[in-house]
Structure 1
Amino acid sequence: MGGAVVLIAALAGGLLLLPHGSEPEPAPSPTYPAVDGQLGEHLRELQRSVDPG
């Protein structure tokens, strides 16, 4: 009887660890105001360097 309870508990715990559907969609990339000149170019380079896509 005690072994059955342990087995059921282990199975229930295993079910909780299974993935539940697909992964959530990543958040859209933020949009920033336009900045001209050298600062704007540096900001665009920075944004490209940290873009995960």
Structure 2
Amino acid sequence: MALKIANLAQLGQAIPRVRTVYTWNAENNRYMLDINRRLGFVSSGTLECWQAG
């Protein structure tokens, strides 16, 4: 969480007019999903990828 906060703070200093930041994680990465929620991120959709075996 500290690293994500530091990155967002640096972004805000470098480009203060930024109003939207997209981030994504695997659905099963509950730890990062919780961090994102605690920082105010909300879900905007789902991306699904397929890989040939």
TM-score for both structures, normalised by structure 2: 0.32
Indicate the structure whose relative CO is greater, using CA pairs within 8 Å and at least 6 residues apart: 2
Work out which of the two has the higher radius of gyration on C-alpha atoms and give 1 or 2: 1
TM-score for both structures, normalised by structure 1: 0.32
Bigger fraction of residues in helix: 1
